[in-house]
Structure 1
Amino acid sequence: MPISDVSLTRRQFLAKSARLAAGAGLGLSALGLTSCGGGSSSNSSSNNSAWRELAHRISGPVLRPGDHGFRATALPNNLRYASILPQGIAKCASATDVAQAILWSQQNDIALITRSGGHSYAGFSTTHGLMIDMTLINHAQFAPSSGIVTIGGGIRNVDLYSALQAADATITHGRCIGVGGAGFLLGGGIGFNMRRYGLGCDQVLSSELVTADGQILTLSATENPDLFWACRGGGGGNFGINTSFSLQTMPADNLITVFEIMWSGQSDAIYAALVDALQDAPPTIGNRVAASAVTPAQLAEGQDVIITLLGQLAGTPDELADILAPVYQVAAPLSADIQQLAYWDAQLTFLDEPGPPDHYQERSSFFAAPPSSEAIEAAFSFLRAWPGTSESASFVLFQTGAQVNAVAPAATAFVHRDSDWLMTMALNWGAHDSRSTVQRNLEWQAGFYEAMRNFSSGAYVNFPDPSLTTWQQDYYGANLSRLGSIKAQVDPLNVFHFPQSIPPASTTERRSNLRETLFASARRALARAA
């Protein structure tokens, strides 16, 4: 059904759920619409009854506090948000389960969020309400004749890697094995293949989406094209819950060259030489250039910022040496691990990043050209002034450009199609670091970020930043208006919301009136159905 049709049926939104519930043998009281907001009732028996009703409506399990597996399932990757626990977790096993959980949350006035990998940097996959856990929807089917892989919305990288390795195929993918495929694709999807093949979202051919009114829609260039556009770079959790994706794969290389090369000393000059050398490198190379701070004590002992180049090249070690020759002329590496491996052996044994849970904040921005000497000087000045935690701080550049920029900014919701580098500024700390230490480091990071914003712009929605006040423009730029209009059509009540979700292009008053209209019509429809 096209979006225009979806928007025309908003007034039947909960009437449709009544028909869905009637088909499942549920009556008016079971739907929880005898009074709005039943889910937030202080009556614990009523609340428990509602959760039992959810457990009957979906095929997967519902976990409550105290249940086996609840805490482990609720734990986010960013431990800053580990204390935010849901009232319950619906482990959905199908799109129908997802639809029922979405409708139940509204009928019981309990806020919802979706989780696939739990790696939201800003904790946006945590909630005090209902967590819809997607990890049971983790299938992957490969069609050899077309090279298309269809994956479940709850698949994580570790399972995606296995499916693609078995098919001897690849896409643009990340390196952290626990990251969810859905969130990765919905926000764009950067990886070491992006300069060669484009972003992950550029390889998406279709998707299945469950909307706020429980409809299960197919999205493609010909079906619901506006939603298809929005779900390629618009960020996860904004328009509904994506339960599957079909992607065009490419053959995996028999051999690639992978490398991790480190320098210490002459750090500024090495960093500048690396950026210059890589700027003109072929799109067959994917890489990250990291500058890691050392503690004040280590700095006083003569240690300096550590430079690490990590990446892959669809080519030979000799070709890599040619690319890096200008850098080697500045200084010899402290260490260099360079190997030729089969593609998936390289990903799973050399380039993979476990990414265990930790306390952190990352901030991002895009460089439209190589960082200038002034930008590099500013960055190293801040790196050498790091206050220090028990863990780490780094300034990282991911090389973009090439095929990332071959797509027009308005062709997908991912607007940042004029960048050469994506900057991230990572700060990690331990559970035993004092509050004052953490605060001092966050203030240092804020000053560092503002200094670098003099040379960069925008931000990457898949690295959500809770400190970013201009996030709407920074994440979406010129595509924000269209995204807000699509949001208003498909989710006018803003069911899918979190602190940095795309707001519907309508006023709060209009949404409030629409909510009352929908619930009133729903009650009438339910009464008729009963």
Structure 2
Amino acid sequence: MTGKIDRAALEDLSKNFDGEIMLPDHPAYDEARQVYNKMIDRRPAIIAQCAGTEDVVSAVRFGLDLGLEIAVRSGGHSVAGWGVTDGGLMIDLRPMNAVEVDPEARIAHVAGGATCGDVARACEPYKLVTTGGTASTTGVAGFTLGGGWGYLSRKFGLACDNLLSVELVTSDGGIVVASEEEHPELFWALHGGGGNFGVATNFTFRLHPLPAATMALLIFPPEEGPKVVRRVRDLFEAGAPDELNVEVVYLTAPPEEFVPSHLVNRLSLLVNAFYAGSESEARKALAPLFELGPGGEMIAEMSYADIQSAFDSQAGFRYYGSAELLPALPDEAVERFCDRALDMIVPSASAQTISSWGGAIARQAGDWPMANRDAAWLVYPFGQWTDASDDERGIAWVKALGSDMAPYAADGTYINLITDEGRKRTIASYGGEAKYQRLAAVKARYDPDNIFSLNHNIQPG
């Protein structure tokens, strides 16, 4: 739904608004409306860059009064570009990026516009961490509410597992704080139910000590892919420690020192390993992979914040992706995965990845809406290119890999990595019909008119 901007209402909004209000004639409007995916080109009628929770309250009430479609932007990384609307109201949380760390209590208070990198950097002086994404520019809000998988998940669980409370502005402009003690059913829904229930303006996270962290990168020619993937699979099936996370990635090899010159700007296979511990411990855990004789290698102890930002890319790519969760990784699935990499756009910033799951992801599954947590592997094509003429080819590759993996995959997926793939897929990702109906009941209580619909939407029950 869209509506017209009433000048009197706009003046009323501006009176006590501490942030920035942008109309299409504002000099920063075009930059502010651009989300990560360059395929998305939407023009909001108004952008409200909020400085705090009260600004969000005012913006939500303004949007309701004028009948505007409301989009909520934090990091702006969603594949579908749900952080921006055409002709409606874009609530931009990015100015709300404060992070306060209490090292004694081991908790962090995080504002709704903060990125995973903001959190990691704030915690770094205390050698404390909580689970963040594999890119530091990812917004904490969407990441956490969609589950929140990253390098630390096998050790410390998903981001939502480390939630202690969430402050939320609901569809009537009210403010609630959800935790195990207050609004517990809403708190349950926020563990994977996405942005369906309101605008998350503040989070409280549990923190964990991490005295040392190690990153290892091993590069191989692409034809060695099946051998490498099988070795990684066997390593985890034999009982790899929870401290270890490994991604096997087909990509365009970058011009880095550890990359042999004959692989630079060509399709290559990268093993990206994270270890929550020292380099000596990491080398021991990764010994079966070093034995394969990579063409180039790098291993070093680094801060978690530096590791998390190692693969950051600039905005401005055309972006399409999906994901599959696999209970097992049989040889046939390995072969199909490796064969499909030949369809990638090279050179580009695209990547085709198998990542280890298990560990605390499964152990802390509980009854949360974030489902399919007993999966052993996450397979995801992350398509990024700059030329619109590559759209058809890039999207076809993403969909083809999904079809390749479908015989081995769970019905649901990790919802943060996909676009809108239909109601059946959404319900499966939320744990099936029973959990979906429970989520729908929460939706009916906190957003009965489905004001917050730009997401993997849950219809009010």
TM-score (norm 1): 0.79
Taking a change above 3 Å as real, the CA distance of residues 469 and 496 of structure 1, as seen in their structure-2 partners, is closer
The answer to whether 1:241 aligns with 2:241 is: no
Structure 1 residues 247 and 366: alpha-carbon distance in aligned structure 2, compared to 1, 3 A threshold? same
Q: Secondary structure at the match of 2:235?
A: helix
In 2, the alpha carbon distance for the partners of 1:176 and 1:132 equals: 23
Q: Report the CA distance between 1:343 and its aligned residue.
A: 4.2
Q: Quote the Cα distance in structure 2 between the aligned partners of 1:347 and 1:425.
A: 19
Q: Is structure 2 residue 55 aligned with structure 1 residue 93?
A: no
User: Aligned partners of 2:306, 2:269: CA distance in 1, in Å?
Assistant: 25
- CA drift at 1:80: 0.7
Q: Note the C-alpha offset of 1:312.
A: 1.9
Give 1:207 shift.
1.1
> Does residue 1:477 correspond to 2:431, yes or no?
yes
In 2, Cα distance between equivalents of 1:339 and 1:408? 32
Q: Specify the structure having the higher radius of gyration (Cα).
A: 1
Q: Which string of whole-angstrom CA distances, capped at 9 and with x for unpartnered residues, describes residues 146-190 of structure 1?
A: 111111111123322221123331111123232111111111111
Match for 1:76: what amino acid?
A: V
Q: Does 1:152 align with 2:106?
A: no
- Provide the residue aligned with 2:402 in structure 1: 449
1:314 matches 2:276: yes
Partner of 1:33: none
For structure 1, the 5+ residue unaligned runs are 1-36, 295-300, 506-530
- The match for 2:164 is 205
User: 1:338 offset after TM fit, Å?
Assistant: 0.6
Instruction: Output one character per residue of 1:16-42: Cα deviation in whole Å (capped at 9) or x when no partner.
Output: xxxxxxxxxxxxxxxxxxxxx9x724x
| 1:422-461 CA-partner distances (Å, limit 9, x unpaired) | 1111222223x42xx4223323332221121111122112
CA contact (8 A) 2:415 2:429 kept: yes
Q: CA separation in 2, counterparts of 1:167 and 1:326?
A: 33
Q: Is the 8 A contact 1:484 1:504 kept in 2?
A: yes
Pick from 485, 491, 495 the counterpart of residue 451 of structure 2: 495
Q: What is the CA–CA distance in structure 2 between the aligned matches of 1:49 and 1:225, rounded to whole Å?
A: 39
Give the counterpart letter for 2:369 in structure 1. A
Matched, 1:325 2:325: no
C-alpha spacing 1:390/1:460, structure 2 compared with 1 (3 Å): same
One-letter amino acid matched to 2:60: I
Deviation at 1:215, TM superposition (A): 1.2
Between the two proteins, the alignment pairs up a number of residues equal to 445
In 2, Cα distance between equivalents of 1:191 and 1:444? 24
Q: Is the 8 A contact 2:267 2:347 kept in 1?
A: no
CA contact (8 A) 1:149 1:247 kept: yes
Shift of 1:104: 1.2
Aligned equivalent of 1:270: 228
Identity, % of aligned pairs?
A: 28
Instruction: Give the alignment of 1:420-459 within 5 angstroms.
Output: 420-431=376-387, 433-434=388-389, 437-457=390-410, 458-459=412-413
Matched, 1:193 2:152: yes
Q: Which amino acid is 2:276 matched to?
A: A
Distance 2:143 2:203 in 1: 12
Q: Could you tell me how far apart the structure 1 residues matched to 2:282 and 2:76 are?
A: 36
Output the CA distance in 2 between the equivalents of 1:367 and 1:473.
18
Partner of 1:214: 173
Equivalent residues of 2:210, 2:277 under 8 A apart: no
Pick aligned residue for 1:337 from 275, 295, 298: 298
Shift of 1:86: 0.7
Please give the alpha-carbon distance, in whole angstroms, between the structure 1 residues aligned to 2:360 and 2:51: 36
Residue 527 of structure 1: aligned partner: none
1:406 paired with 2:363, answer: yes
CA shift in 2, pair 1:409/1:364, >3 Å: farther
Which residue is 2:80 aligned to?
A: 122
Please report how far the alpha carbon of residue 205 of structure 1 lies from its aligned counterpart in structure 2 after TM superposition: 0.5
- Point out where structure 2 has 5 or more consecutive residues left out of the alignment: 254-262
Shift of 1:106: 1.1
More helix by share: 1
Once the two structures are overlaid, the 10-residue window that deviates more, 439-448 or 131-140, is 439-448
Contact 2:232-2:289 at 8 Å conserved across structures? yes
1:346 positional shift: 4.4
Tell me the residue number matched to 2:10. 51
| 1:17 aligned partner | none
Aligned residue type for 2:365? A
Distance, in Å, in 1 between the alignment partners of 2:145 and 2:236 is 28
Q: How does 1:25-64 map to 2 (within 5 A)?
A: 40-41=3-4, 47-64=6-23
- After superposition, the C-alpha distances for 1:124-160 in whole angstroms (9 at most, x for unaligned) are 1110210011122222222233111111111123322
1:415 equivalent in alignment to 2:371: yes
SS in 2 for 1:205: strand
- The TM-score with structure 2 as length reference comes to 0.90
Partner of 1:259: 216
1:390 Cα shift?
5.5
Distance 1:132 1:486, change over 3 A: same
State how far apart, in whole Å, the 1-side matches of 2:33 and 2:163 are: 29
CA deviation profile, 1:311-331 (whole Å, cap 9, x unmatched): 2213444443433333344x3
Deviation at 1:404, TM superposition (A): 0.8
Amino acid at match of 1:152: A
Match of 2:256 in 1: none
Partner of 2:257: none
Aligned to 2:259: none
Distance 1:145 1:380, change over 3 A: closer
- Describe the superposition over 1:262-304 as per-residue Cα deviations: whole angstroms up to 9, x where unpaired: 111322112211221134210011232212379xxxxxx9x99
Q: Secondary structure at the match of 1:159?
A: helix
Structure 1 residues 417 and 345: alpha-carbon distance in aligned structure 2, compared to 1, 3 A threshold: closer
Superposed CA RMSD in Å reads 2.3
